[in-house]
Structure 1
């Protein structure tokens, strides 16, 4: 889900930095990470409590300093938030609680 954010005005300008970060993740073996996913991470996590006026160099710094672990932790939490868990079977529930 794409979220409109006040920093979206930088999105087209910082495209090369996002591409560079995506390629770095690819070299590390993470071939399913898109530029858009990196951008959404920054918007939703890194800049959610940021100051109102961010400068272009700060946006680029955020992109280039992003670590794969930080991104993957965020991705895992988001995937769990979207997953639907149901334990309709009492035996499954008891097994889980052992």
Structure 2
């Protein structure tokens, strides 16, 4: 198993409808840049950090559906500050807004 491979990764496609539903919920709540993969990565890093053998699909489904936007956004913020490419992903408008440029 590779370093990036998680024991639950084989369930990603099976759980895709739940992930899609959660991403749509985030979008309705105003978090439109959160993808299915983002939610999956969050769960692998936080909730499933210590995976258990013999987990059932309904348990994974429940974990997906119980992700709260605040928990995800806290995680995403910390990850963004850890990233050496923090500013690389921002476009000019985002950068101006971040820096408080009132002309944008």
When normalised by structure 1's length, the TM-score is 0.79
1:16 aligns with 2:17: yes
Residue 48 of structure 1: aligned partner: 49
Shift of 1:83: 3.7
User: CA offset at residue 44 of structure 1?
Assistant: 1.1
Distance across 1 between alignment mates of 2:51 and 2:7:
11
Which segments of 5 or more consecutive residues in structure 2 lack a partner in the other structure?
Answer: 86-104
Q: Does 1:31 align with 2:32?
A: yes
Larger-Rg structure: 1
Higher relative contact order (CA 8 A, sep 6+): 1
For residues 54 and 82 of structure 1, what CA distance do their matches in structure 2 show?
Answer: 32
Matches of 1:45 and 1:53 in 2, distance apart?
A: 19
CA contact (8 A) 2:7 2:51 kept: no
Deviation at 1:50, TM superposition (A): 3.2
Q: Which has a greater percent of helix?
A: 1
**Structure-1 residue corresponding to 2:58:** 57
Instruction: State the shift of 1:30 in Å.
Output: 0.5
